[in-house]
Amino acid sequence: MISTEGLNKYYKGADHFHALRDVDLEIGKGEFVAITGQSGSGKSTLLYVLSTLDTDYTGTIKINGNVLKSMSANQLASLRNRDIGFVFQFHYLLPEFSVLENVCLPAMRLKKFTPVQIRERALQKLDILGLSGHAHKKASQLSGGQQQRVAIARALINDPVIIFGDEPTGNLDSANARMVFDIFKELSEKHEQTIVIVTHDPGIAAKSDRIITLKDGEIV
């Protein structure tokens, strides 16, 4: 599902910094992978490059058979909206919108489904995450754990083949962190969705299928 060959990333400027160094990896369909490492190790950089949010790199990245460097900006945007879901440490919900409206937004952008289908799909995702009873509440009325589950529902609305998470449990208490992890695990095992998360939590990482540890931009 994801592969890299000779992946390098440089931050140019006054301080020329080699952030990723010859990274070669493969991640299979339905695999739940945790990327770990100390601050500054390159783990978030790797996540953003793999997820097409950062396109300034050298080497080869393939996502679901697509060579990213051969794709135009519009093609990458289409791939990102169709095949990739994102969950960040902070949920980035629109507080003045309802829970349902927040979940619908990526599908409205994709324009693959009718408005009725989008609404039905959003309600289905919320039901999977135990939030169907909160669909018409303002996002700001929910707890932090509930808001993060809404963010996961939003990431799922277009049925992506890969979900990327940047510290998705980093802003949650231990009970909600376990709940979010269990959701990811179920998505991986039952729905064969590939999950790739960056985490500082060794307990979360230990329960994933595989840990990729970075140090100074290299896989160790």
pLDDT digits (tens, 9 = 90+) for 166-186: 988 888 888 888 888 888 898
Give the Cα separation of 149 and 99 in Å (integer). Answer: 10
Question: Which pLDDT score, from 0 to 100, does residue 90 have?
Answer: 80
Domain 28-55+73-219 in this protein, CATH class:
alpha beta
- Is the full-model pTM beyond 0.85? yes
C-beta separation of 40 from 200 below 8 A: no
User: Which amino acid is present at 112?
Assistant: K
Percent of the chain with pLDDT over 90: 62
Could you read off the pLDDT of 65-116 as tens digits, one per residue?
899 999 999 999 889 888 999 988 788 899 999 999 999 998 998 888 899 9
Helical packing angle, 174-191 and 144-156, nearest 10° = 20
Could you read off the pLDDT of 13-23 as tens digits, one per residue?
767 889 999 99
Contacts of 8 (CB under 8 A, 6+ apart): 18, 20, 21, 22, 23, 57, 58, 59
